[in-house]
Structure 1
Amino acid sequence: MAYSGEPILVEDLLFKPKHSLIDQSLHSTMGATTTNGDGFGIGWYGEGAEPALFKGTEPAWNDRNLREIAGQIRTPLFFAHVRASTGSPVQRSNCHPFRRGRWLWMHNGALRGFHDVRRDLVTAIDPGLFPDLEGSTDSETLFYLALTFGLTDDPLAAVARAVGFVEDVGRAHQVENPVQMTVATTDGESMWIFRYSSERQSRSLFFSTEIDKLRALHPEVEVLYHLGDETRFVVSEPLRDLPGAWNEVPESCAALVRNGADELREFQPISPV
């Protein structure tokens, strides 16, 4: 889940919605797995120069510290992730979001055949970035490849080149359909989201309808009057069953989310050769 808008208490995002992310960690209805209990993480922007992270290896629904701090953090931009491991160890460094400088990154999905292609992918990371690679996941590796290909300058092109590179390497190793991903990344001001898979059957991803339109559709829903007009949610699964509230990100698409008009465009990998 990603949130951008007026500063809001984290507990209002994580715990209070009817089908909150905490509920989804136990009862996912659209994910690859029903239970996502291999750790969690939140990232938010506050007073510091860089975003803060809080991660744990316990299931999100069972972490009392998460519930404690969620009632004390108020932020205008927030990332949250519950993890179901695709093979890498359950450890703090493997929990999302990942951070470098002011950038946060979350990934849902997998780089297939990662065990076989990992060396080729990791050795392609810029030597100046490599020392900051902490964990052993395909998700963090994809983040650092995107950084290598220019994420901080042109996020859309950088992710396209990173995905194109992963597909090139995967196919060289006879890996079918190397990439399965929904991704969210941010520099603290704008947010970029991606939905793509090599087989064109990507995991689910939704963005929220503009708040003023939702108020017109559902004047009876009080919580909508406490959200600013620039509020945006990006979620793997809708947080509550509210007709007209959620829009599926189309297959093979990317979007830029920021104050003012959002942009949705086709996403195609770029071979960086």
Structure 2
Amino acid sequence: MCRWAAYLGEAVFLEDIITAPCHSLIAQSHCAQEAKSPTNGDGFGLAWYGDRPEPGLYRDILPAWSDPNLKSLCRQIKSGLFLAHVRASTGGATSRMNCHPFISGQWSFMHNGQIGGFEKIRRALENSLSDAVFDQREGTTDSELFFLLMIDEGLSADTQGAVSRATSRVIEASRRAGLEPALRLTAAFSDGQTLYAVRYATDAHAPTLYTSVFRNGGGRCIVSEPFDRDGGDWQAIPPSSFVTIGSDGMAIRPFAPASAKLALVV
């Protein structure tokens, strides 16, 4: 599994969340407390928004704790909206193209979790993409493919609905392949204006997700695990939830796959 952190609010230096706190994302890259594995050393990435509609992107295959460029960038870059991720591979080579976040136009996306039995349904899912969306495929991970499924389902026009329909496509592909669906999905994504997150699993083990206000209400973080347990009022996001964070606050709604025939395990 992986660790990630996202932020929306008043512009802050990226180091305030990624490198400076006692249990920062860099600390979590080698000493995570709520992940299956404490080490997340298979690369890292940043996506941040500034004056242009599309995000800046920096990814590398080094462990986050050993790249001095990452610390320097976080010390200098200030942003009101960014996503950061440290990777523990559940499949796919350690390459820049497989490091999160992934971007498409103004959208950025990162994921903690996996599609169970992915190699048996990967071809079917890729073949289900429209040609224009399939041409955006750069890496080999299940995470990137899920992001492309969201885009294919009309992410810009119907954000929660697109994620719900993409989830249903994965579950249905598993069943057609004779597999018990095994999807774990805790993801964050943004269009440069609003920050979204989803926590869902087909079993009772959805990866963790927390949120908290930051800097006395100047912004809000959403994270895989808290980066400062003593200084933050962290709220656990329940399983089967869809989170929307905007300038007017945060909303948490129930989340389920699109098909009413699919059983939801809470």
TM-score, with length taken from structure 2? 0.93
Q: CA deviation at 1:140?
A: 0.3
Aligned residue for 1:178? 182
CA distance in 1, matches of 2:118, 2:176: 13
Q: CA deviation at 1:58?
A: 0.4
Q: CA deviation at 1:176?
A: 2.1
Aligned residue for 2:27? 23
Aligned residue for 1:94? 98
CA distance in 2, matches of 1:123, 1:139: 16
CA distance in 2, matches of 1:154, 1:39: 31
1:46-85 matched pairs, under 5 angstroms = 46-85=50-89
The yes-or-no answer on 1:4 pairing with 2:1 is: no
Deviations along 1:92-147, whole A, 9 cap, x unmatched?
Answer: 00000000000000110000111110001111112111111110000000000000
Percent identical across equivalent pairs? 39
Tell me the amino acid that sits aligned with residue 104 of structure 1. Answer: S
Equivalent pair of 1:36/1:83 in contact (CA under 8 Å): yes
Q: CA deviation at 1:272?
A: 10
Aligned partner of 2:251 among 246, 259, 263: 263
Equivalent pair of 1:171/1:178 in contact (CA under 8 Å): no
Deviations along 1:230-266, whole A, 9 cap, x unmatched?
Answer: 4110000111113761011101111111111311111
Tell me the amino acid that sits aligned with residue 246 of structure 1. Answer: W
Aligned length: 257
Aligned partner of 1:136 among 133, 140, 144: 140
CA distance in 1, matches of 2:260, 2:40: 34
CA distance in 1, matches of 2:58, 2:232: 33
Q: Which runs of 5+ in 2 are unaligned?
A: 262-266
Report the 3-state secondary structure (helix = DSSP H, G, I; strand = E; otherwise coil) of the residue aligned with 2:27. Answer: helix
Aligned residue for 1:14? 18
Report the 3-state secondary structure (helix = DSSP H, G, I; strand = E; otherwise coil) of the residue aligned with 1:132. Answer: coil
CA distance in 1, matches of 2:54, 2:243: 23
CA distance in 2, matches of 1:261, 1:190: 10
Q: CA deviation at 1:49?
A: 3.1
Deviations along 1:203-238, whole A, 9 cap, x unmatched?
Answer: 100011x45xxxxxxxxxxxxxxx363411000011
Aligned partner of 1:107 among 103, 111, 132: 111
The yes-or-no answer on 1:245 pairing with 2:249 is: no
CA distance in 1, matches of 2:182, 2:126: 15
Instruction: Indicate the larger mover: 171-180 or 138-147.
Output: 171-180
Report the 3-state secondary structure (helix = DSSP H, G, I; strand = E; otherwise coil) of the residue aligned with 1:199. Answer: coil
The structure with the larger Rg is: 1
Aligned residue for 1:200? 204
CA distance in 2, matches of 1:106, 1:207: 16
Tell me the amino acid that sits aligned with residue 61 of structure 2. Answer: T
Aligned partner of 1:236 among 190, 201, 224: 224
TM-score, with length taken from structure 1? 0.91
The yes-or-no answer on 1:152 pairing with 2:156 is: yes
Q: CA deviation at 1:200?
A: 2.8
CA distance in 2, matches of 1:228, 1:116: 48
Aligned residue for 1:214? none
CA distance in 2, matches of 1:48, 1:264: 28
Aligned-residue CA RMSD in angstroms?
A: 1.5
Instruction: Indicate the larger mover: 138-147 or 128-137.
Output: 128-137
Report the 3-state secondary structure (helix = DSSP H, G, I; strand = E; otherwise coil) of the residue aligned with 2:249. Answer: coil
CA distance in 2, matches of 1:243, 1:74: 22
Q: Which runs of 5+ in 1 are unaligned?
A: 212-226
